[in-house]
Structure 1
């Protein structure tokens, strides 16, 4: 079995694959400091809770945007799963050419999403990841990562809102019933969600116009992406497993190259 690990700024998302079949996804927080033993024991405990014996994990691949935890995480995997993880990065053979001004600064998560997005679209695509930041990545018809937009994530914007205004409460982010809010909570929900929808529609439209890829296939992922995807026709597909599938595809390519 293959364990795929996406280390984001807020959560570490993991998936276990048997070839192309995803057995399950699970998450743990990123910001809590952990030792290698804590990582190893926590991962093993979660696997066992899902009726997956840790010894069944034969390979691990990681994409991370949080360098500070990588030593403890990889050490824990080596110690408890007895395998050295592959690390997906801009320098890896992913099958995606990063054609930006500074490819080495391109987030591994964005490259992984581009791999999965291009595998779905088989042509020009825009991949939107609604995470701590909302990223819009443009993939050309030949599988080249050409451009990006990076905006505050919906929840990040929300925390800024209620963290910076004393009279605004922390709220659950969800689609309100109306844009004509008559109370503070609904008004905040409307501002965050409708604002995200409007932002998405405008950025997708602008990226298509400026690139000339007017038929680009638009794929969304990320926890809050479903809210936006359900409310706009500019998104063709919502895939919550996109990043994990991208890691699986990169692992298969990297191992195939090693043969």
Structure 2
């Protein structure tokens, strides 16, 4: 069995995987001031509840876009399982069947998304990841990361309004019944949630134009299902796609050293 970890700016996601697929996926806030012992206690509890022995974990793989948390989670995994985790980063990218644009700049999560999409589809594909940031990672059918677009995520946009205005509240991410907001809450939801539908569709259209129309789209991320009217824009919505990519990176590295 494997423990796959994807540390983002908002949440750290832990996945338990075996040959039959994902057995459990756990999500916890990615707090930079939290100790390795605290994360270890939480992971121990999850595994205990899942009736999984520590000795059954054969591989751990870590992807992180939070430099302050990377050594914390890495140390925790190494000490808990007695295994040095595979860490996704430029050091392992040459082993992957990908041509990576600016490997020292691109986020590990975007590389994972690209590898998962390339492995799954083997055709031009843009992965739209609905997280702290809203990212569009386009990979060709030949395994080249063609480019990336990044915008603030849904929650990030709403929190920015709340943090930077005196009278606007933080509101839940819900699709309003109308673009004509009749309350402050509905007005923000109309502007952000409905506005993001237009943003996503517009960028997908622009990407397809630049690729002569040849590009499918898939969605992932914790908020990937929060705008139901966008479902027809994607061939699939796969919340675990980033974890799949991190797992595939780990398996590629493991295979290369056997």
The bucket for the TM-score relative to the shorter chain is: over 0.9
SS in 2 for 1:52: coil
Q: TM-score, normalised by structure 1?
A: 0.94
SS in 2 for 1:97: coil
1:10-25 residue pairs with structure 2 within 5 A?
Answer: 10-25=10-25
| Structure 1: gaps (5+ residues) | none
SS in 1 for 2:69: helix
State the distance in 2 between where 1:217 and 1:198 align: 18
**Does the CA contact (< 8 Å) of 2:32 and 2:69 recur in 1?**
no
Cα deviations by residue, 1:29-52 (Å, 9 ceiling, x for unpaired): 112412222222221122212222
Query: Are positions 1:58 and 2:58 aligned together?
Result: yes
Query: Are positions 1:94 and 2:96 aligned together?
Result: yes
In the other structure, the counterpart of 2:219 is 220
SS in 1 for 2:209: helix
Q: Which moved more, 1:86-95 or 1:227-236?
A: 227-236
State the distance in 2 between where 1:244 and 1:159 align: 26
Cα 1:48–1:165 change in 2 (3 A) is same
State the distance in 2 between where 1:232 and 1:50 align: 32
1:200-239 residue pairs with structure 2 within 5 A?
Answer: 200-212=200-212, 214-228=213-227, 230-239=229-238
Cα deviations by residue, 1:111-159 (Å, 9 ceiling, x for unpaired): 0000111122211000111111111011112011010101111100000
**Does the CA contact (< 8 Å) of 1:38 and 1:76 recur in 2?**
no
**Does the CA contact (< 8 Å) of 1:154 and 1:192 recur in 2?**
yes
In the other structure, the counterpart of 1:242 is 241
Q: Which ranges of 4 or more aligned residues in structure 1 deviate by more than 4 Å?
A: none
**Does the CA contact (< 8 Å) of 2:128 and 2:134 recur in 1?**
yes
Cα 1:44–1:91 change in 2 (3 A) is same
1:1-259 residue pairs with structure 2 within 5 A?
Answer: 1-92=1-92, 93-98=95-100, 100=101, 102-212=102-212, 214-228=213-227, 230-259=229-258
State the distance in 1 between where 2:66 and 2:205 align: 31
Cα 1:38–1:232 change in 2 (3 A) is closer
* Shift in Å, 1:103: 2.3
Cα deviations by residue, 1:74-121 (Å, 9 ceiling, x for unpaired): 1111111211100111331222211x3x32111000000001111222
State the distance in 2 between where 1:202 and 1:18 align: 38
Q: Which moved more, 1:62-71 or 1:51-60?
A: 51-60
* Shift in Å, 1:172: 0.8
* Shift in Å, 1:229: 5.6
| Structure 2: gaps (5+ residues) | none
State the distance in 1 between where 2:228 and 2:123 align: 21
Cα deviations by residue, 1:15-65 (Å, 9 ceiling, x for unpaired): 100124100110111124122222222211222122222222121001110
State the distance in 2 between where 1:20 and 1:220 align: 23
SS in 1 for 2:40: helix
